[in-house]
Amino acid sequence: MSCSPFDLCDYLFGELADGERRQVERHVRSCGGCHEDLERLRITHSTLLTLRDEEVPRRIGFVSDKVFEPSLVRRAWRSFWGSSARLGFASAAMLSAALVIFTFFRPAVATPMVSNPSPDVTDIEAVVAGRVSAAVDKAVAESEARQAKNTAALLAAANARYEQQHAADLEQVKEAFSYLERRYNTSVVASNQEMKGAQ
């Protein structure tokens, strides 16, 4: 029987407070019997620890939502609506409740609105047709004016280019004529001189 102030097993397993541990350690240092008991316990403990943990042969895991029903409320909800009889009863109950509510809280009957006298459709159509026609005429006139303006501008530009080209041609003709005239005169003079020399 151990005479230690606290159980040696409690000491071995770390179940004592610091002060209690120190008391046991002091006692064991001075008591041969308790020292031997504690050593035997330690050896037994270490011998037991030679039996090591094994690895799990197959990993454990879950994937199916069917297996994992999250809550009692959800399970009850699903089981309730999963029954066709309960579903039919619930539908009938909702229909009955709707009828009762409609009976006691029927909305006021809507009175037909008094419509204002409508204006004459023919007049409206005439006004609209007139406005459309005026708008079309205005758009056509504007388009024609723009077209005439563009045409006039193009004609003016073409005339200008024609005048310039005509003047340039006349100038070239003049130069060519002058050149021919000079050559003609030169040849006439040369011919006259040859004739005078021959005489």
Pick 40 or 146: Cβ nearer other proteins:
40
Q: Which is nearer to other proteins, 54 or 123 (CB)?
A: 54
Q: Is 18 in the site for other proteins (CB under 8 A)?
A: no
Task: Decide whether 56 or 198 has the Cβ nearer to other proteins.
Answer: 56
66 contacts other proteins (rule: CB under 8 A): no
What span, in angstroms and rounded, lies between the C-alpha atoms of 194 and 38? 162
7-15, 22-30, 127-135, 155-163 -> range binding other proteins (CB under 8 A): 7-15
Q: Is 60 in the site for other proteins (CB under 8 A)?
A: yes
Which tokens belong to 94?
Answer: 């909702």
C-beta atoms surrounding 182 within 10 Å: 10
| 183 sits near other proteins (criterion: CB under 8 A) | no
Do residues 24 and 8 make contact, with C-beta atoms less than 8 angstroms apart?
yes
Cβ atoms 140, 148 nearer than 8 A: no
Task: Give 73: exposed, middle or buried? Use CB within 10 Å, 0-12, 13-18, 19+.
Answer: exposed
Regarding 3 and contact with other proteins (CB under 8 A), the answer is no
Q: Which amino acid is at 5?
A: P
Q: Which one of 13, 81, 102, 177 is in contact with other proteins (CB under 8 A)?
A: 13
Phi-psi region of 149 (alpha: psi -120 to 50; beta: other; left: phi over 0): alpha
Q: Does 102 bind other proteins (CB under 8 A)?
A: no
17 near other proteins (CB under 8 A): no
Residues lying near other proteins in the complex (CB under 8 A): 7, 9-10, 13, 15, 40-41, 43-63, 65, 67-71
